[in-house]
Structure formats: C-alpha cells, structure tokens
C-alpha cells in the first residue's frame, strides 16, 4: 500500500462555505456558541468557547477528492485513505454520561468498522460538567465507563487511539465525539514519564481511561498528540499552580516527542490547542506558550480538564 500523506491541519480565518468549497477539505471546525451551523457533514461546531476575539476555523485537508455523508447520527467524510467521523448526542435522550458515551462509541464503531479506513488514530471527546459528581460517580469517570463499554473489543488488535477528553460549558448536555481514522494503522507512543492511562490505579475510577499518549500517523512523519497535562507517573503534579503545571506539561510534551523519535520543539506547521479551566488564566497561558514556542499556532479554548486540580491541558500535532 502507498504511504499515506497526512492531512494538513491549520487554523484559518474566513467563511465556512469557502473552506468547504476548497478541494480536499475533509473537515471544518468552528468553536463556541457563535460558530456557524452548516448542514454539510464535514462541518462541526465544537462546543468550547475560544478566547480569541475572532475564533478561527480549523481545517483538515487531504490531497485527494473527498466524499461525505451521514449514517444515522454519524457524519463522515473520506478521501485519500483518511476518514473523519463525528457524532453528537444529547444526554437527555440517552440517560446520563455513561450510557451516552456507550451509545456514541457503539455508533461510531458500527460506522467506522465497516470502512476500509477502520484504523482509528485520534479521538476528541467534549462533554458537559465533566467534574460534577463525587468519586466513581464523577461524570468523567462515568464517561470512561461508557466509552470502554461502547468501544468493546474494536481496539483490541490495534490498541487505543490517541485522545482528548475535555469538559464544555455549553447550555445543552451534549457529548461530541469526533475522530480521524485511516486505512493503515498508526504506531502508538507512550510517555516514559507517565503511567499509561489504561494502567491507572483504581483511585481514578472503575474503568481506566482508554487512550494512548500519542499516535504516529501511517504517513510516518506526523505525530498526533493526546491531551497532555501535568501528570507525572499517575499523579497530578503542582495542584492549582498554573505556571508549574505549564512547565510540567511541556516536559511531558518534550518526552513524547523524544520517545516518538522526533526532533525537539514545535514549528509553524504544528497547530496546538490549549484548554484552560479558568478564563482569567488565558492570558498567562498564551504568554507562556508564545515565549516557549514562538510562531507556533495555538488555539486557546475554555475547557475543564478531567481532574479538578488540573488547570491546563495541551494537545495537537507535530509535523516533522
Ligand atoms: C491525563 O493525563 C489527563 O480520557 O481521553 C488526557 C487525554 C486525559 C485523554 C481521555 C484524558 C483523556 O490523564 C487526562
């Protein structure tokens, strides 16, 4: 099989309709309640508010013709060996975070499992009030239970994809899940500074989180980086200390790049996202990243990290 050329991911200002009209557009994301709604299945409104005055669009583009459609609740687009798929469920129709996550993953698995592009490499999950509830009943932990149930043994052969799970502040209790899959498997990367999430001890919930720390795309030269926070071993470090958490998060990102065999640092083709719990922290996060990674495109979003003591999380891409 030919080596796949990785989708290009970028942030752009402009009209959704123009982005959709460009050839090779696999997906277009808008951010926040003001994002433009479109019928096109490649267009997704992410329910996280952006701290930019004019939120950009995120574009995924491939070097091939793209076809798209819907299969019950799943929207999809495919081209050049790549597949985008997304689902949004309202918890009020599915009975809480556990059953909603189970349903979302069952439906995605049903649709993606039938495609040539069935190797799921990267998944994003956005759910409301992620830290509400105590102990095993915290909504993130219920989400983890339902995600694992809905995944079933679909990932048994390949292992878990890279992922992000973040809390939104939207008015409706929606769960949004979207993914990138390919017709070839990727290579999982774990972080030597961190316990693999699937081996987290019992204190973090009944079901350990089902994700890998990063995924090298079958294109070989691109790393998809999971949500990365100030977790060392399995413990959260520097509770409630924003600056120390940022330093630790970058140590984790550096370790991931090294483990993936990539050169240090990021570049202007490596778009990142920073999820910030408290809007008042956004300026400090922006300044820290700008100083550390000048010229790297970063989107700052208002989102809650799945552990209450964590204030910031970063995910994104590294193009070699
Ligand atoms: C952590 O390191 C922080 O449940 O899919 C990061 C990335 C985190 C993905 C997920 C959770 C997830 O455990 C939390």
Instruction: Tell me which residue range forms the domain holding 41.
Output: 8-319
Domain assignment present for residue 135? The answer is: yes
Which pTM does this prediction carry?
Answer: 0.97
User: pLDDT tens digits, residue range 225-260?
Assistant: 999 999 999 999 999 999 999 999 999 999 999 999
Bridge pairing between strands 272-276 and 298-302: parallel
Tell me whether residue 14 is in a domain: yes
In a domain, 246, yes or no: yes
Dihedral angle over CA of 181, 186, 187, 190, nearest 10: -10
User: Which residue's CA lies nearest to atom 13 of ligand 1?
Assistant: 197
pLDDT value of position 1: 59
Query: How many angstroms separate the alpha carbon of residue 167 from the centre of ligand 1?
Result: 11
Counting as low any pLDDT under 50, the low residues of the chain are: none
Instruction: Catalytic residue, from 88, 91, 248, 313: name it.
Output: 313
CA of 64 to the centre of ligand 1 (A): 32
| Under 8 Å between Cβ of 84 and 179 | yes
Angle at 136 between CA 134 and CA 142, to 5 degrees: 105
Total of domains in the chain:
1
- Taking the centre of ligand 1 as the mean of its atom positions, its distance from the CA of residue 148, in whole angstroms, is 14
Q: Cβ < 6 Å from ligand 1: which residues?
A: 125, 163-165, 197, 209, 211, 226-227, 229, 231, 306
Query: Could you give the C-alpha distances from 296 to 48, 113, 286, 287, 299, in angstroms and in order?
Result: 21, 35, 11, 12, 10
In a domain, 171, yes or no: yes
Contacts of 142 (CB under 8 A, 6+ apart): 96, 97, 98, 101, 133, 136
**Conformation bin of residue 198: beta by default, left when phi > 0, alpha when psi is -120 to 50:** alpha
Q: Report if residue 3 sits inside a domain.
A: no
Which pairs from 92-95 meet CB under 8 Å and 24+ separation? Answer: 92/173
Atom of ligand 1 nearest to the CA of 306: 14
CATH number at residue 141: 3.30.1330.40
Q: Rounded distance, CA 273 to CA 285, Å?
A: 11
- What spacing in Å lies between the alpha carbon of 15 and ligand 1's midpoint? 32
The verdict on whether 313 is a catalytic residue reads yes
Query: Is 1 inside any structural domain?
Result: no
Retrieve residue 220's tokens: 């070989």
């Amino acid at each position: 099989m030919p080596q796949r050329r990785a989708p290009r991911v970028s942030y752009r200002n402009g009209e959704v309709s123009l982005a959709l009209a460009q050839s090779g557009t696999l997906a277009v994301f808008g951010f926040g309640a003001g994002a433009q709604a479109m019928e096109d299945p490649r267009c997704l409104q992410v329910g996280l508010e952006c701290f930019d005055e004019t939120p950009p669009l995120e574009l995924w583009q491939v070097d091939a013709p793209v076809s798209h459609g819907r299969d019950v609740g799943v929207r999809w687009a495919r081209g050049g060996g790549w597949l985008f798929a997304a689902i949004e469920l309202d918890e009020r129709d599915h009975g809480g975070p556990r059953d909603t996550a189970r349903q979302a993953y069952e439906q995605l698995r049903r649709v993606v499992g039938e495609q040539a592009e069935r190797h799921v490499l990267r998944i994003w999950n956005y759910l409301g009030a992620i830290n509400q509830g105590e102990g095993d009943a915290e909504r993130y932990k219920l989400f983890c239970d339902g995600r694992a149930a809905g995944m079933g043994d679909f990932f048994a052969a390949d292992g878990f994809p890279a992922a992000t799970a973040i809390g939104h502040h939207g008015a409706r209790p929606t769960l949004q899940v979207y993914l990138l899959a390919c017709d070839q498997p990727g290579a999982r990367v774990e972080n030597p500074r961190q316990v693999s999430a699937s081996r987290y001890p019992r204190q973090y919930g009944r079901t350990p989180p089902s994700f890998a720390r990063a995924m090298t795309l079958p294109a070989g030269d691109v790393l998809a980086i999971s949500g990365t926070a100030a977790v060392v071993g399995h413990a959260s470090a520097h509770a409630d200390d924003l600056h120390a958490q940022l330093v630790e998060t970058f140590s984790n990102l550096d370790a991931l790049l090294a483990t993936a065999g990539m050169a240090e640092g990021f570049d202007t083709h490596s778009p990142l996202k920073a999820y910030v719990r408290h809007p008042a922290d956004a300026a400090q996060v922006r300044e820290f990243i700008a100083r550390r990674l000048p010229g790297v495109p970063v989107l700052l979003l208002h989102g809650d990290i799945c552990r209450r003591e964590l204030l910031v999380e970063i995910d994104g891409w590294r193009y070699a």
